[in-house]
Amino acid sequence: MAAARILILDDEPDMIETSRRILAPAGYECLGTMDPHEALRLVESERPDLMLTDLRMPEMDGMEILRRTREADPRMPVIMLTGYATVETAVAAVKAGAFDYLSKPFSIDQLRVAVERALNRRRLEVENLNLREQLKGAFGFENIVGQSSALRGVLELVRKAARSDANILILGESGTGKELIARAVHANSPRAAQPFVPVDCASLPENLLESELFGHEKGSFTGASGVKRGLIETAQHGTLFLDELGELPLGLQAKLLRALQERQIRRVGATAQIDLDVRIVSATNRDLRAMVTEGRFREDLYYRVNVVDVALPPLRERSDDIALLATSFLNKYGRSAVKGFEPEAMMALETYSWPGNVRELQNVIERACALADSEMITLAELPQQLRTVSQTSQSLPQDQASGRLTLKEAKERWISQLEASYVADLLRNEGGNVSQAARKAGVDRKTLHRLLNKHRIR
């Protein structure tokens, strides 16, 4: 475990050095400053676990420091140090939110005991906060809706993998719920009481990505006006979720690999290494194996992040879950005004191919709830592409709906034909413009190209 970080603020350099000599041998990392404004900046950038501050200082007194520190981080304990101790000042400091109050000169044991008590309380508060979130069911497996065999197999694998510290790679199309699975892994792991830090590798500009991930020192580049902890360091003892890992540039892939191998990171512009205790959960909708072959993703990093791989099935392979998911979203967005679905509307939902997966279904149900004029959602409240699929399904050959096929076989054949018909009509209506057709369908170009190739549509 990394050492707790203690910020020491005092206008006497001897007092800072004395406190450091007492606390450093006990395994604490100490940051010292004589400048109150610098101390407040360090509270924002370094997020220390505890502050020791003098009460009387010429530029800003300890009570003002206490007030502004609690505004920045209400859970960070503050211990007051002063050579002018009175009962009144002690009571005022505690009432203002100070954890404890020590009179100078204090003994080694007095300081160490006060610091240990303050840090123990902070740990308990952080753990209780995280546990309360888990008890709400925000990120547990119970929040993942579905009973299909495809989903049950995935959840069983994830439950087993969550118990270990192994790095996990989550694979799946856009909208299949990769971050939801990542949060469930964290919530059911031994690190559940520690931070879960998501990073979208695709949304951050490449020139900022290294600084965001690894942090930087003051003056390390133009605009670096202070020290900043990176997202990897922020996830210390917890889980770092690297979403869209395939978008990470090759240069940063090498630096991330080194960090995972050495269990250490170095901020941009720094020389000192920081010990790392983080679990990596990654996700991508890209084929990383193909990218390795093409030289666009490092093979050694691939095996480092892919200790356990979890492949999420697309919604078209979980057709048994569509009614459950639709009802779940209906309860979320419909409140008490909307009670259910007309049979034709549910038929349209179950026969549509859902290229945008669960995210698209959620969007469709939210839209339908907003437009519904009665207690039941009808076909009229669904988007045009679903109504087109429903109308096409009514004209399919009768033998496909007869008892000659099992329900599963008939549904798969219907979905395939409906999907092909919808994509062909969509492309025809957009004059063969793939980008325009993809926007109209609410999917990316890559997904639409995959459907065109699947059904051999040119």
Q: Dump pLDDT digits (tens) for 191-201.
A: 888 889 999 99
Q: Do 17 and 159 fall within a single domain?
A: no
Q: Are residues 309 and 321 in the same domain?
A: no
Give tens-digit pLDDT for 206-216. 778 888 899 88
For 297-308, what is the mean pLDDT? 95
- On whether both 394 and 284 belong to a single domain, the answer is no
pLDDT digits (tens, 9 = 90+) for 121-162: 888 877 776 665 554 444 556 668 888 888 888 889 999 999
What local confidence, expressed as pLDDT, does residue 134 receive? 52
81 and 116 belong to one structural domain: yes
The per-residue DSSP string of 59-82 comes to SS-HHHHHHHHHHH-TTS-EEEEE
Structure tokens, 199: 């990073």
114 and 146 belong to one structural domain: no
Q: What is the mean pLDDT of residues 294-313?
A: 95
pLDDT of residue 339: 86
Q: Are residues 51 and 86 in the same domain?
A: yes
State which H helix or E strand residue 241 sits in: strand 239-243
Give the pLDDT confidence of 225-245 residue by residue, as tens digits.
777 888 999 999 999 999 999
Residue 158, both tokens: 């994830």
Q: Which residue has the higher pLDDT, 334 or 312?
A: 312
Q: Domain ends where: 133, 166, 198?
A: 133
Q: What is the pLDDT of residue 165?
A: 92
Structural domain of residue 341, as residue ranges? 316-454
Q: Which residues are registered as beta bridge partners of 377?
A: 341
- Structural contact between residues 285 and 450, judged by C-beta atoms closer than 8 angstroms: no
- Please calculate the CA angle 35-36-40 and round it to the nearest 5 degrees: 120
Q: What is the mean pLDDT of residues 40-52?
A: 91
Helix (H) or strand (E) holding 170: strand 168-171
**404 confidence band (pLDDT: 50, 70, 90):** low
Which of 84-88, 99-103, 118-122, 165-169 is least confident?
84-88
- Beta strands 100-103 and 340-341: pairing type? unpaired
- What pairing do the DSSP bridges indicate for beta strands 5-9 and 264-265? unpaired
Count of domains for the chain: 3
Domain final residue pick, 107, 133, 159: 133
Select the more confidently predicted residue: 108 or 125: 108
Q: How do 228-229 and 215-216 pair as beta strands?
A: antiparallel
Here the CATH number for the domain that contains residue 384 is 1.10.8.60
Q: Which of 65-74, 138-147, 308-317 has the highest mean pLDDT?
A: 308-317
pLDDT band at 401; cut points 50, 70, 90: very low
Q: Is the pLDDT of residue 295 over 50?
A: yes
- CA distances (Å), origin 30, targets 27, 51, 309: 9, 10, 40
Domain check: are 163 and 288 in the same one?
A: yes
pLDDT digits (tens, 9 = 90+) for 417-454: 777 778 877 887 887 888 888 888 877 888 888 888 77
**Residue spans of alpha helices (H) in 246-295:** 250-262, 288-293
Say which CATH number the domain at 246 has: 3.40.50.300
- Residue indicated by tokens 């639709």: 326
Least confident window among 236-250, 315-329, 332-346: 332-346
Strand 29-33 and strand 239-243: the pairing is unpaired
Count the residues in the chain.
458
Q: Which of 133, 164, 192 represents a domain boundary (last residue)?
A: 133
434 vs 405: CA distance, rounded Å: 35
- Residues 93-106 have pLDDT tens digits of 888 889 988 888 88
Look at residue 402 in the predicted model and tell me its pLDDT.
Answer: 47
Looking at residue 136, its pLDDT comes to 43
Angle at 195 between CA 190 and CA 196, to 5 degrees: 90
Residues 297 and 185 in one domain: yes
Tokens for 237, please give them.
Answer: 């003892």
pLDDT at 281: 97
Task: Give me the pLDDT at residue 410, please.
Answer: 67
Q: Average the pLDDT over each of 8-17, 76-85, 247-256, 323-332 and give the range with the smallest value.
A: 76-85
The whole-number pLDDT of residue 377 equals 92
pLDDT at 143: 67
| Residue 50: DSSP 8-state | E
Question: Are 307 and 361 members of one domain?
Answer: no
Return the pLDDT at 145: 84
Q: Residue 118 is part of a domain; what is its CATH number?
A: 3.40.50.2300
What's 116's DSSP letter?
Answer: H
Query: Tokens 């698209």 label which residue?
Result: 360
Residues 341-363 have pLDDT tens digits of 988 888 889 888 899 999 999 99
Place of tokens 């179950």: 350
On the question of pLDDT at 221 being above 90, the answer is no
**Reduced DSSP (H G I as helix, E B as strand, rest coil) percent helix, strand, coil of the chain, to 5:** 55, 15, 35
Question: Are residues 209 and 305 both part of a single domain?
Answer: yes
Q: Could you tell me if 384 and 429 lie in one domain?
A: yes
* Structure tokens that stand for 120 in this block: 């123990």
Comparing CA positions, the residue from 31, 109, 132 lying closest to residue 76 is: 31
User: What is the average pLDDT value for the chain, to the nearest integer?
Assistant: 85
Residues 306 and 320 in one domain: no
